[in-house]
């Protein structure tokens, strides 16, 4: 405990680190306050009465989780940062398929600025579209309330103002994230997503404890917490796990001096795809529910099962989609041929493997073998909330037992701690841990 207190004191002594942490906390506070500012044209009291005390499930519950409650609050940050994430994913995928975007990716800083600008423009378009969808959702909520109207202005005027305000709110969230990245600590966009998820954890814990206390099953609540800790530790192991491939660099003449050969490692991550496979698989699993809403007269039992996240068919298909997308996303993000070419160009080689094509085949073989257990483990994490719900855990609390929310929280916390540790070590203080180093997602893949 004394060592932990000393570490906190060291963090506070470093003026730059202290200012960055305080700046980050201030920006996150602004984001949380904005999640409770209701859209103009809505009666908050009437809206709360219509919404009721129970949270929404399914897709709506997931969106509300990522927006930090702003979606159910009908706030100016109701869409949160998710439109920007959607636009970023679209631009990233275009970079693998469209030559123009591939060219921008290879142009260094100037190309990165152009890609960021394109992402911002695309974010505006995506947000405007999703804002119109949010207006339809509010109208359907009002229609199903038996005539209780919480929208107190003209529908056309409300649609126009809602689209403008929600778009401005998302762009402001994006600005907050960029400022945190530049002047704060950690990745700003990821921190905004994480703080939105973590904001729902205390309420879910209290609700679950109240439910277990009412049923006289306090011991069950303790077992749930122990199981949650085990799942978090396993997720940390998945995020941190790497297969280190040794690389030997030969002696080289640089100018008038000889550079001595040295040995390094290529870290091939067990989960190189991160959280993206779960996001892609989740998007596909929402399609059956979308069709069921479009055709409510259809009474297909199979569609009903695919709309129930606790059913066996849903989880079986979801699991295989996560495994497939893990291989797909790893294949487009990690290029063994490019790594082999870079090694050959810099005078590096893997001991016992010929440079060039043989090195690429060797790395591809290792990547395929490492990705298999990683994809299976990722698929298990993706379906864990369904298992938690099957054991009687409430849906709001079950979401923290796996899936996108858990991976995002673990990854962002590790990244942030890694940056803090870098500041401490750079100024000759002890790191956050006495043994070992904290490796964030960026740090683990830097060598690649």
| 42-70: pLDDT as tens digits | 888 888 888 764 445 555 666 777 777 78
Task: Name the nearest CA neighbour of 338 among 448, 198, 191, 234.
Answer: 448
CA distance 322 to 190: 21
The tally of CA atoms less than 13 A away on the side-chain side of residue 129 is: 11
Rounded to 5 degrees, what are φ and ψ at 263?
-115, 135
Query: Tell me, what's the pLDDT at 264?
Result: 83
Tokens of 140: 């359907």
Query: Tell me, what's the pLDDT at 443?
Result: 41
Beta bridge partners of 263: 248
Say if CB 190 and CB 412 are below 8 A apart. yes
Per-residue buried b or exposed e for 103-138, using 16+ beta carbons within 10 Å of the residue's own CB:
ebbeeeeebeeebeebbeebbbebbeebbeebbebb
Instruction: Give per-residue pLDDT as tens, 103-131.
Output: 887 787 888 889 889 999 999 998 998 88
Other CB atoms within 10 Å distance of the CB of residue 163? 18
Query: Tell me, what's the pLDDT at 54?
Result: 43
Instruction: Give per-residue pLDDT as tens, 146-166.
Output: 656 788 888 889 999 999 999
Whether the per-residue pLDDT at 136 is higher than 50: the answer is yes
Whether the per-residue pLDDT at 440 is higher than 60: the answer is no
CA distance 198 to 295: 36
Instruction: Give per-residue pLDDT as tens, 425-439.
Output: 776 655 555 555 566
Other CB atoms within 10 Å distance of the CB of residue 322? 26
Whether the per-residue pLDDT at 353 is higher than 70: the answer is yes
Q: What mean pLDDT value characterizes the chain?
A: 80
The DSSP output letter for 394 is -
Whether the per-residue pLDDT at 412 is higher than 50: the answer is yes
Domains by residue range for the chain, with CATH: 1-199 (1.10.3370.10), 215-448 (1.10.3370.10)
Instruction: Give per-residue pLDDT as tens, 172-216.
Output: 999 998 899 888 887 888 888 888 888 888 888 888 888 888 888
Query: Tell me, what's the pLDDT at 442?
Result: 45
Query: Tell me, what's the pLDDT at 413?
Result: 84
Query: Tell me, what's the pLDDT at 172?
Result: 93
Name, in order, each residue with C-beta under 8 angstroms of 252's C-beta and a sequence gap of 6 or more. Answer: 258, 259, 261, 347
Task: Name the nearest CA neighbour of 130 among 92, 94, 175, 85.
Answer: 85
Tokens of 295: 């055709």
């Amino acid at each position: 405990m004394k060592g932990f207190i000393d570490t906190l004191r060291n963090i506070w002594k470093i003026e730059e680190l202290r200012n960055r942490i305080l700046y980050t906390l201030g920006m996150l506070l602004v984001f949380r306050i904005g999640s409770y500012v209701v859209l103009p044209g809505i009666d908050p009291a009437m809206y709360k009465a219509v919404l009721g005390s129970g949270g929404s499930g399914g897709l709506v519950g997931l969106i509300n989780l990522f927006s930090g409650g702003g979606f159910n609050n009908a706030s100016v940050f109701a869409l949160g940062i998710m439109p920007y994430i959607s636009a970023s994913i679209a631009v990233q995928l275009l970079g693998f398929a469209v030559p123009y975007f591939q060219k921008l990716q290879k142009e260094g800083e100037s190309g990165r600025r152009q890609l960021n600008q394109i992402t911002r423009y695309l974010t505006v378009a995506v947000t405007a579209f999703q804002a119109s969808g949010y207006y339809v959702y509010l109208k359907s909520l009002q229609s199903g309330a038996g005539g209780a109207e919480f929208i107190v202005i003209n529908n056309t005027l409300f649609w126009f103002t809602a689209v403008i305000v929600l778009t401005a709110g998302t762009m402001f969230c994006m600005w907050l994230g960029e400022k945190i990245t530049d002047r704060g600590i950690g990745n700003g966009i990821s921190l905004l997503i994480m703080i939105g998820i973590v904001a729902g954890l205390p309420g879910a814990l209290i609700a679950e404890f109240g439910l277990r206390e009412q049923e006289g099953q306090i011991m069950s609540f303790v077992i749930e917490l122990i199981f949650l800790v085990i799942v978090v530790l396993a997720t940390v192991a998945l995020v941190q796990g790497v297969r280190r491939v040794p690389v030997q660099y030969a002696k080289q003449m640089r100018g008038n001096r000889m550079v001595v050969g040295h040995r390094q490692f290529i870290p091939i991550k067990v989960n190189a795809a991160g959280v993206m496979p779960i996001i892609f698989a989740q998007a596909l699993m929402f399609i059956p529910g979308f069709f069921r809403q479009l055709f409510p007269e259809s009474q297909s039992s199979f569609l009903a099962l695919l709309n129930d996240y606790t059913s066996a068919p849903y989880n079986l298909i979801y699991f295989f989609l996560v495994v497939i997308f893990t291989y797909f996303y790893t294949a487009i993000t990690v290029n063994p041929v490019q790594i082999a070419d870079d090694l050959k160009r810099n005078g590096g080689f893997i001991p016992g493997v010929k440079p060039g094509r043989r090195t690429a085949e060797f790395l591809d073989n290792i990547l395929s073998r490492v990705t298999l257990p990683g994809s299976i483990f990722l698929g298990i994490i993706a379906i864990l909330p369904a298992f938690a719900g099957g054991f009687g855990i409430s849906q709001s609390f079950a979401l923290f037992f796996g899936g996108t929310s858990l991976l995002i929280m673990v990854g962002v916390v590790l990244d942030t701690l890694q940056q803090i540790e870098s500041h401490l070590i750079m100024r000759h203080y002890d790191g956050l841990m006495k043994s070992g180093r904290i490796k964030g997602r960026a740090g683990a893949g830097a060598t690649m």
